Homo-oligomer: A and B are copies of this chain.
Amino acid sequence: MTERPHAYLRVADDLREQIKTGALTPGLKLPPQRLLAEEYGVSDILIRRALEILRNEGLIESRQGSGTFVRERPPVRRISMDRYLVDSGPQETPQTSFTHDAGITWSQYRLDKAFAWIEADERLAELFGVDVGARVLERRFVFYAVGEPSQMSRSCLLASDVEGTPVADPRHEPWPGGNTGQLRSLGIKVDKIRETTAVRMPTPDEAERLGIGTGVPVFSITRRTYAQGRVVEVADPIVIPGDRAVREDSIVL
């Protein structure tokens, strides 16, 4: 690391180094900004800038009125397209794509849900391949694994497919077998799933619901579920905290 000309960068570099090497261990509380300013011999505003940089990098977390802490690294969850195989497979034990990925059992699983009938806006209509204004069942979920929020999503189904069926009834969630299971109960056989994965910073709302700092990036996945050549389900977006998940993909040539 070459000598930095700017004091706040030097401070940031130094603290980052200490965190990376483990001199500052996760969960540890940093000295108050007052002290840091004194130690480094710079004004408080430079300390604040340095801390903001580290906060953006996801290395630290500030709690107002309490202090600044080195962030804990939560366990990693592996997301793979294979999870959709369990949805459609035999159901010895109840599972969904989510429980599969999170590596948890049905009983450690919980979700918040909110159903609504809406009209497809431009984006949704394009994803579905239907006209704008088409009636759609919008289902918003927040998934918890062992109490920790670890995924939220908005999943949509066409009213023409599900209106008046048990699938449209929130009380049946969570549904063993997940989306694919639900669709199968309607006689719709899912044959292809496409996902578009983007990465971005969370909205303030997402950050709060997922219990992450606003400096932690997220996966934002758009999923299209196909059956007989048409789109039967659209999830847009599926939001997953980036600090506790990785995608796994493979190709055989």
Chain A contacts to B: CB under 8 angstroms? 53, 56-58, 81-82, 84-85, 88, 180, 190-201, 203, 214-215, 217-219, 242-243, 245-253
In the bound complex, do residue B194 and residue A217 qualify as a contact, i.e. CB atoms below 8 Å apart? no
In the bound complex, do residue A218 and residue B199 qualify as a contact, i.e. CB atoms below 8 Å apart? yes
> Can you show 20 pairs from A to B with CB atoms below 8 A apart?
A56-B214, A57-B203, A57-B214, A58-B200, A85-B253, A191-B252, A192-B252, A193-B251, A195-B248, A195-B250, A196-B247, A197-B246, A197-B248, A198-B242, A198-B246, A199-B217, A201-B215, A201-B217, A247-B247, A247-B249
Bound-state CA distance A194–B203 (Å) is: 31
Bound-state CA distance A251–B224 (Å) is: 11
Q: Quick one: closest B residue to A227, CB to CB? A: B253
- Complex copy number for this chain: 2
5 new A-B contacts at CB < 8 Å, known A197-B248, A200-B242: A84-B253, A191-B253, A192-B252, A198-B247, A247-B247
In the bound complex, do residue B56 and residue A215 qualify as a contact, i.e. CB atoms below 8 Å apart? yes
By a CB distance below 8 angstroms, the chain B residues around A191 are 252-253
In the bound complex, do residue A88 and residue B253 qualify as a contact, i.e. CB atoms below 8 Å apart? yes
In the bound complex, do residue A56 and residue B58 qualify as a contact, i.e. CB atoms below 8 Å apart? no
Q: Quick one: closest B residue to A9, CB to CB? A: B204
By a CB distance below 8 angstroms, the chain B residues around A203 are 57
In the bound complex, do residue B242 and residue A217 qualify as a contact, i.e. CB atoms below 8 Å apart? yes
Q: Quick one: closest B residue to A243, CB to CB? A: B200
Bound-state CA distance A218–B218 (Å) is: 10
In the bound complex, do residue A214 and residue B53 qualify as a contact, i.e. CB atoms below 8 Å apart? yes
Bound-state CA distance A194–B81 (Å) is: 13
Shortest CB–CB separation between residue A207 and chain B, in angstroms?
Answer: 10
In the bound complex, do residue B199 and residue A249 qualify as a contact, i.e. CB atoms below 8 Å apart? no
In the bound complex, do residue A251 and residue B201 qualify as a contact, i.e. CB atoms below 8 Å apart? no
By a CB distance below 8 angstroms, the chain B residues around A217 are 199-201, 217, 242
By a CB distance below 8 angstroms, the chain B residues around A247 are 195-198, 247, 249
Bound-state CA distance A85–B251 (Å) is: 9
The CB with the most chain B CB atoms within 10 A, among A58, A88, A197, is that of A197
In the bound complex, do residue A219 and residue B199 qualify as a contact, i.e. CB atoms below 8 Å apart? yes
Bound-state CA distance A112–B49 (Å) is: 33
By a CB distance below 8 angstroms, the chain B residues around A250 are 81, 192-195
In the bound complex, do residue A81 and residue B199 qualify as a contact, i.e. CB atoms below 8 Å apart? no
By a CB distance below 8 angstroms, the chain B residues around A245 are 198
Bound-state CA distance A201–B219 (Å) is: 12
